[in-house]
Amino acid sequence: MEVSLLAVASPVGRWGVLGDDHGVHRILMPHEMVGRRISRMAPPRVIETANELVDYFASKRRQFTPTRVTTAATAFQMDCWRALEAIPYGQVVTYADLAASIGRPRAARAVGNANHANPWPLLVPCHRVVAATGLGGYGGGIDVKEFLLTLEHNSIAAHA
């Protein structure tokens, strides 16, 4: 089955939806889209996800409904990603909070690594996890994380 890549414009660059008839394999951040060839046609699940991202960037969507294709991951990563999905739009938690929520209170750094491995940024909102002292890191860059938090009206981005 052929995998398609659709681009979605945002104020911080083009994002990509990579998927097939089974669902979304990955969301590519703007820095990952450089030099990528965009598909002319894509299956409905990829198109639906791209449209949901367009709505998100226009502040018309707060939740996503796409089918995600299962990826190879550790049990710890899966626990982290499920916990990320529980963080409401416009809210943040710290890496330590997320670690505690999955029963691993001393694993804040490992939570950061699991977030970095998240294949579905935005759909699984790893940008909503911050350091106890500020924004922390983000695989797409701090400017992208600040944009996403500001888009969601989160005041922490304005104070970073």
Which sequence positions are flagged as catalytic?
Answer: 126
Residues 63-94 as b/e (b if ≥16 CB within 10 A, e otherwise) read ebebebbeeeeeeebebbbebbeebeeeebbb
Q: Are the C-beta atoms of 60 and 53 separated by less than 8 Å? A: no
Phi/psi for 59 (5° steps) reads 60, 35
Calpha distance 121→114 (Å, rounded) = 12
- Pairing, β 15-20 against β 129-130: unpaired
Nearest of 55, 44, 40 to residue 6 by alpha carbon: 40
Calpha distance 154→70 (Å, rounded) = 30
